[in-house]
Structure 1
Amino acid sequence: MRTPYGQNDHSTELARLRAAIEAAGDVVYEWNLADDSVSWLGDTARLFAPPRSGAPQTGDELSSCVHPEDAPKRQKALSDHLKRGLPYDVEYRLRVGQGGYHWVHDRGAVDAKHSGMVLKLAGTLRLITDRKEREAHLEYLANFDELTGHYNKVRLRDDLDKTIAEALRTGDGGAFVVFGIDQLAMINSAYGYQAGDRVLCEIGSRLDDCLRAGDIIGRISGDRFGVVLGRVNQKLAVRAAERVVHEIRRKAVQTPAGPIRVTGSAGVCMFPDQATAAVDAIAKAEGALRQAKVQGRNRCGLYEVTEAQRETYRASMGIGDEVQQAMKDGRLAFAYQPIVGAIDHKPAFHECLLRLHRPDGEVVPAGKFVTVVEQLGLMRALDRRVLDLAVDELGKYPTATLAINISGLTATERSWQRALVAKLKDRPDLAQRLIIEITETAALKDIEETAHFITAAQDLGCRVALDDFGSGYTTFHHLKSLTVDIVKIDGSFVRNLAEDPHNRLFVRNLIALAHSLNLTTVAECVETEVECQILADEGAELLQGYHFGKPSLEAPWPEQTPEQKAEVVEFVKLDTPSKNAAR
């Protein structure tokens, strides 16, 4: 193999250079532009595999190895370097064997005579195939669901917005349809997640077979697919949805656990008549899907509005306007309810319950407006305000530990996660005193996204609680996947605990399930001393309910003193230098 460095009295330095190049995985080349010859140093066999006899010996041979799609890019980079003095730094694919290609990073510079005539170009080639494959995979995941290969919910929502905008411009109608697999959680529990995954893939394939080539299909949650049907009227949309529902139930799905009979339900929303934005169309189609399931599943539901519903919607819009104005005016505040130790009854932390203060002085509990806010698509903004209030309170009261509730929609919303990170990444003293509660039913809708959220929050130092534990269909596998820190036993099982032996047995099993994963348990809605004693005997660590205190607008901590403020500042200085240095 020829070398541009020759064999001379600098052989020791050359040996060291060769060893360094091979250790770095690079290949050095020198291209003599006068006679088109190329010399190499390094392990060229990794770059130029058989059937080639060796590395290219001329510039033309090297160019012939470049992927045809990348050749113009490489040529432009070379031309810009030679003529304009721009850096020669380019990535392209080199042919390997019969039809295969490696990705390489090519960097170099020309050497010219004093006259300015170019003599040689010296450079390095580095294999970057692994990095390119990782980048391609990340780009794929940004748009597609890894399991089924269909669009993910973000990409589907973007395309739905574009299709609705086009319908508004042209006057053509369309439909958004949500298809839900009936009882997928039960299939996962009975047959295992491999069977459930096979069901999802098969249903996705049947959607492809039933719908038009131009229809847009995406997976919007654990058990649901969404479909954008362009240029259809209501009759055609319902017919298409019913055809898919029929195809889902027509034949069993072959899974590793054997054939499984599956049914599905559908919800249809027409646009732009019934929705002028993607978030609105999705919410209404899911509402129609829920109605179809209430009516017995295995059927298609159509979003429709009666006059009575219109009156309800008008009232809801009024509540939505009031909540938005309250956020602008700063009239949202917390009421605090203590969560106490089951043995000593001393407060361990406090749950923050949202309250709206009306201009006339009336205080409105969250239960009277949160459901409407969710229906109107305002929950993300409200949950962001809850986060802002909680962080402010934690900073104001250094002895406080607070639990806040967020909606299931927010738990899978990356923008809220980014806000959480932005507020707490430099404040470990606050993060370790914040507990984020998500409901069990919301968590089970999209376990993968919820698990991602939980991990992100825990990485900051926050704890995560699963609220209403026992009200859904949580299994050992679900809890293991979600990795929460705390479970709150639903109050419906605590009420009448002393009189109802079935409730006591259920609570005992829930506590045992939580303890098997080293989770802390909180029993909600405790109202009597007898319930306190039973729960303590069964092993619950923490209790919450009117027996220990109703939600209060008065903060249960004293204002921090100047000395306490100084201690908090000093704590942050001592605790965060390594993170600041790392960034």
Structure 2
Amino acid sequence: MDRYEPQVRRDLVDMVYDSIPFSIIVNIMAGLVVLVVYWPKSGKNAVIWYGMIVAAMLYRLGIYLYYKSHQDEMPVVRAEVLQWIGMFASAVIWVSGLWYFLGKHGIAYDFLMAFVMGGMASGSISTLSSERITAITYVLITLGGTALWLLISPRAIEVMMGVMVLIYLAFLVSSSSRIHRTIVDALVLRRENEHWIRALKAHRAEIELIFDNVPVGVFFYDKDFNIVNVNQHFVQLFGSSREKLIGFNLERLKDRRIIPAIRMPIDYNGLEDGYYEGAYHTTTSDIDVYIRIKTTALKDSKNRLVGAIGIVEDISQELEHKRQIESFAQFYIQNPNPVMQLSCYSHAILIENDAARLIHVGLEKKEPERWEGFLEKVCSGEHKSIDLRYEETVYQFDIVALDEERVNLYGRNVTKERIARERADYLAYYDELTGLPRRKLLFEHVKIAMLRAERNGTTNALLFLDLDNFKQINDSMGHDVGDYLLQQLAKRLTNLMRTGDIVARLGGDEFVILLSDIEGDAEEAAMKSEIVARKIREEVARPFAIKGRKLHFSVSIGITLFTYDRDFFDLLKEADVAMYEAKSAGKNGVRLFDSKLEKSTVRKTELMQDLHNAIERNQLTLLYQPQIEISTGKCVGAEALLRWEHPKRGLVSPGIFIPLAEESGLIHELGQWVLRRVAQESAQLPLDYIAVNVSIKEFVRSDFIEMVKTMAKKGEIDPSRIELEMTESVFIENFKETNDKLQELRRMGFRFSIDDFGTGYSSLAYLKNLSIKTLKIDRGFVEDIGINPNDEVLTRTIIDIAAHFGMKTVAEGVENETQLAFLKKFGCDLAQGYYFSKPMSIDSFMKWLGERV
């Protein structure tokens, strides 16, 4: 055995042990036959002998079971010795039977015993030849012993049988050698086969690994165009799966463009290869790809066509690269004008020539916001071309989208064209002499003013101006003097107007002014327009210094009011008629197109003049209306209300004289008077604060803070006892400036409240960011409590908002128990109104307070 490889030797031992169960059965059955035949003749001896057979078989069964349970760790030599002992014992026991049974019962019995021994020997050759020494040992003992007994027999027939046994013995020994050799060769071949199978599997796995990792798609198909196999790159390229692809018949492809390339190797029996390059729409995954496919025939060892192999490449990047190269050559290298390619995803410049780089780098450094704005316009998709000014040059960039992300920009110098067009556009809209808008631009502004008036509920006015004695000056002093005079007049008029008002020149010495967004009703708008007209008259009346002389002029002004849905030329005509009426009345006058409004305006102008004298003549007074803490019924504050007792007109409503004061600028003087009077009178009142209304016109003045500081330093007011009430509109114009002022006033000790909350802008932004302590609920919401559910909801909402921001609420106009109960139920803090008291003079208020103690 040593000449065999260890694994082959192990395999031979395994074969011997694998045959033990069958050998045991054969021995038991054969021994039982002998026992049955000889027991009547031999009796006890037969039984003893059979018991020895069974004992030997039990030993063999035991070593078989032990080997199977310890097969991996049992040494081969030990396994061989154990099974050899069993075989040797079995052979000896069988030979011993010859001495028990032969020659005692007749020739027939001896022949049977010799036959059984020959059969056992034959069986051992077939089962034990894998271990040749054991097999030969077994045969030599069993058949050698049988032959010896027969040869020494006195009977000639038995001697002949002995000779035959010897011959058979020689045959079995020879056969055992051949069988053993055959078994060994088979085992060696099996081992080699297993080795090559493992090698082939490893090789196949390596090939499959390479197959799946080749950076191109590979597929095989048979002569019937059924896909046999595909690699992983092929699956990924077409966005499909192996399950869908393997077995798919290529004749079923919906996109027929690649069919000729697939058929070529099959149709021409391998003489032609197939080729296709371009776009392809997949059948199994329904996507578009750009591919290059090459196919060639597959043949077997006898040069017979069995199918074809295809190689597929994704050429998307290659095509993109080609396009970029072509684009670069065509649009960048060869173009002397600025051209660039832009990524709209990142706003990065992908490619640019020198001319484009000069603009790009220059603007990015000097004006990055304008450069970024240009890129955003380009990528918005709303423009086919965009102008871009760089230094003194204007470029027009045409925009061509390459795909969803990239665009090409092709620029050209259009400076001369733009200068000419801008000049033409300018002259179409602006007067060349004065720089003022012309009739065309005025027309557009009037249309816009009409739209704003319709939306905001405001009024507009057109003022038609004509210099009264311009023609004489122009004729006597020359047109150059006249032109200079018109230029100076244009500057004065422009400086006089509000932002948003338009001063236009129609021609000669005719000017038109558009006043837009005039608040108030028609009567108030007419009054305000006439105030502007009078200011214009005063401005024109100031002398003009020309060539060392001072020239004096006057102007006639016609005014027409309008809101919306009016014809522009009708408005000009009305203003022109009014202007001529002013000239007819003696020049240097102002006329409204509607004579009734003119009378009303005159009355308001007179009232404004009377208001200037009201303070000096002691016609103003303050009334106080108490503010009650709802939860306790205690009066904790009051609101100071300004009243004007006109000597002729009687009591003038604040809704009339306060706007007049704001318009004329008198509101600042009135505000100081109110603060001083409140400070004087409230010093006697046992209250936490007095609320004083502050006009937005007063608050936004640049000197308001300084005025209040000066009064506080002089001891004229005590900021800790004053609450400043302002409407919501004060927070809208300039939030930052307003906030800065409020913080300054807060540091001085003032407290603040928002009057008429809910009727204006009602933006929560200023509630969050400003130091507001109180919200006043407008009386318009309170008066319908118990009547209008919508006003109840609004009132509750304002209370909730104030509570959320840590503010108190004051309800104005409380007049009955129902309103008070509602406010108390939903958490309103303070209330004022006729239910508690009408506004009172300081003396009446002090008496009222004394009666409540």
Larger radius of gyration: 2
Shorter-normalised TM-score: what interval?
0.3 to 0.5
Normalization by structure 1: what TM-score? 0.47
